[in-house]
A and B are shown apart, each in its own frame.
Chain A
């Protein structure tokens, strides 16, 4: 039953994790996100973890999985808002979140996604009818 809401923002999906993730919730999120990427043709996934106090190796693996799966589905993943204490702990734990892009906050994360997906140029061309129309659900 428990689900973390996934918001669609233009060509991207936005997820804000505001509770401590337990395993079932995390696995649901993984499945839901990949299904949403497939359904919407999203080019990027932005995960805001600014409210998350603890990232352990399980949660790190979930983030890594989401990034790898999204990449295969042609979408980039950016994790934003990591708390300093979480970053310190992750490095000592030995979890480097390889393959996961990170940014300090949502705004920078969005910039990074636009950068990585080359969508800025596409957006400017929207008037010419060149924008991909597969974002419509």
Chain B
């Protein structure tokens, strides 16, 4: 996978969510992603950025245009320095939440994007990486 462009955004408060989503949309439009795929990616991004704010008081997001086998895609890396996730398999279950949410965030997000990776160290933070390809496959 080759990185074509790279940009970062710092998320510290709820008001950063909408500008961040707009930024993701700009990139998706730039590579010619279809509307449905744009919507899926931005919704996934929205879930992840909310998680980051809720559990870690924000963090840093890296936005990249990537290319694999001639196909462009968007890769988003959400890195926070929050409490970390103790039990990732449990956090990936539908309906599980330690907060008061619906518990759809992580598993739902995974369904919306092509590639999903989560790494977490308790006490030092969580990094979620999602990639969505132009044609959604």
- The residues of A with any CB-CB pair to B shorter than 8 Å are 20, 22-24, 53-58, 60-61, 83-86, 88-89, 92-95
Cα distance A23–B18 in the bound complex, in angstroms = 10
Q: B50 near A: Cβ within 8 Å?
A: yes
Q: B17 near A: Cβ within 8 Å?
A: yes
Chain B residue contacts of A84, Cβ below 8 A:
36
Mostly helix, strand, loop or mixed at chain B's interface? helix
Chain A residue contacts of B112, Cβ below 8 A:
89, 92-93
Residue of A nearest to B39 (CB): A85
Cα distance A55–B109 in the bound complex, in angstroms = 13
Which of A22, A83, A88, A93 is in CB contact (< 8 Å) with B108?
A93
Given A88-B36, A94-B104; 5 other pairs, CB 8 A cutoff: A22-B18, A58-B46, A58-B50, A84-B36, A89-B36
Residue of B nearest to A88 (CB): B36
Chain A residue contacts of B38, Cβ below 8 A:
85
A82 to chain B, nearest CB (A): 11
